[in-house]
């Protein structure tokens, strides 16, 4: 199958408009391989026909969704970027808990954007469970979203392999995972119950319009696939979703400096944290 540059650009523009994900020209082979798979499945011979189908004859976006399921990069594992999670657990979370307890508001709400197969929101659930004193007197909700339908299925199942759990501290591995077979780790139901998974596109402002009052937004290793314009759009939305005093966590290589000046910046043990 040929993918002339002209059609690559049309396709990547369509993907960018709908998802915020930006593919540069060096990704042409990556796209081509997945495009080929979808064209074969749908019986398309010509790229231009497939693109026309996406634009005009796919009003509910079903085929577009299938393509996106193949294109997203879903790399993740439990307790990823451990030192950043330590800052969250030992500093930001403690401050939020203290302030909310003083205000007699015993709820903690976390939004986990680009949650992939669930390792990140379940990690956050374990941390909250461990770090909140008198946990049972608090109401904790973690909402985890992703644009890729396939990863959400895996997240809801909550069954993992050795690679996913390699960084889980042994005590937590024992406490929160069952291992019915060698190399298989099943997340505990009590942790599962803390997380709600939803299929949601971060560029869909309508779908996000009721999301508010969050204490924490985690969006780690997602915006690296966006350009500055779509990053800014999403980060502005996160700002409005956070309550005053709430925190946003991006991946360690991702900075807000070019994207937004709305957040207050704090340095906590070598990490920059951003607070509304
Ligand atoms: C590399 S994974 C990161 C997983 C996890 N946050 C972590 O840091 O381990 C990026 C995830 O972002 C999701 N994603 C990409 N664009 C998105 C969008 N527009 N809306 C929601 N999720 C998106 C992808 O499907 C993928 O599962």
Our answer on whether the CB atom of 223 is closer than 6 Å to any ligand 1 atom is: no
Token readout for 124 is 């956050």
Mutate to test the pocket of ligand 1, among 64, 80, 85, 147 (most ligand atoms within 8 A of CB): 147
User: How do beta strands 242-250 and 139-146 pair?
Assistant: unpaired
As a dihedral over the C-alpha atoms of residue 6, residue 66, residue 72, residue 110, rounded to 10 degrees, the angle is 130
Mutate to test the pocket of ligand 1, among 114, 122, 148 (most ligand atoms within 8 A of CB): 114
Q: What is the pLDDT of residue 145?
A: 98
Q: Can you give the pTM of this predicted structure? A: 0.97
Measured from the Cβ of residue 30, the count of other Cβ atoms closer than 10 Å reads 12
- Tens-digit pLDDT profile for residues 174-216: 999 999 999 999 999 999 999 999 999 999 999 999 999 999 9
Q: Regarding the domain delimited by 82-275, which CATH topology (the fold level of the hierarchy) does it fall under?
A: Rossmann fold (3.40.50)
Our answer on whether the CB atom of 72 is closer than 6 Å to any ligand 1 atom is: yes
User: Residue of the nearest CA to atom 7 in ligand 1?
Assistant: 76
CB 101 within 8 A of CB 131: no
Q: What is the pLDDT of residue 100?
A: 97
**DSSP secondary-structure letter at 107?**
E
What are the residue ranges spanned by the domains of the chain?
5-71, 82-275
Largest Cα–Cα distance in the chain? 64
Q: Regarding the domain delimited by 5-71, which CATH topology (the fold level of the hierarchy) does it fall under?
A: Chemotaxis Receptor Methyltransferase Cher; domain 1 (1.10.155)
- Residue 243: C-alpha distances to residues 81, 90, 96, 238 (Å): 25, 20, 11, 10
- Residue 259: band (very low, low, confident or very high) from pLDDT cuts 50, 70, 90: very high
């Amino acid at each position: 199958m040929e993918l002339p540059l002209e059609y690559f650009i049309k396709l990547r523009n369509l993907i960018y408009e709908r998802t915020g994900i930006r593919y540069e020209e060096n990704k042409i082979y990556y796209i081509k391989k997945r495009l080929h798979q979808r064209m074969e499945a749908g019986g398309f011979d010509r790229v231009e026909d497939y693109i026309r189908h996406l634009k005009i004859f796919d009003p509910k976006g079903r085929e577009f969704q299938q393509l996106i399921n193949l294109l997203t990069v879903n790399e993740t594992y439990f307790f990823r970027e451990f030192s950043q999670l330590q800052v969250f657990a030992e500093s930001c979370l403690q401050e939020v808990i203290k302030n909310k307890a003083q205000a007699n508001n015993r709820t903690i709400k976390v939004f986990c954007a680009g949650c992939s197969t669930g390792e990140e929101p379940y990690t956050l659930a374990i941390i909250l469970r461990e770090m909140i004193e008198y946990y049972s007197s608090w109401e904790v909700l973690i909402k985890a979203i992703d644009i890729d339908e396939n990863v959400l299925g895996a997240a809801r199942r909550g069954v993992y392999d050795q690679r996913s759990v390699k960084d889980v501290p042994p005590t937590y591995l024992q406490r929160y995972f069952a291992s019915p077979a060698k190399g298989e780790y099943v997340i505990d139901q009590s942790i599962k119950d803390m997380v709600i998974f939803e299929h949601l596109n971060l560029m869909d402002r309508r779908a996000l319009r009721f999301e508010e009052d969050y204490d924490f937004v985690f969006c780690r290793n997602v915006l690296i696939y966006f350009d500055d314009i779509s990053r800014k759009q999403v980060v502005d939305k996160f700002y409005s979703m956070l309550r005053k005093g709430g925190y946003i966590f991006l991946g360690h290589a991702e900075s807000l400096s070019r994207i937004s000046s709305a957040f207050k910046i704090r340095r906590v043990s070598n990490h920059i944290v951003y607070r509304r």
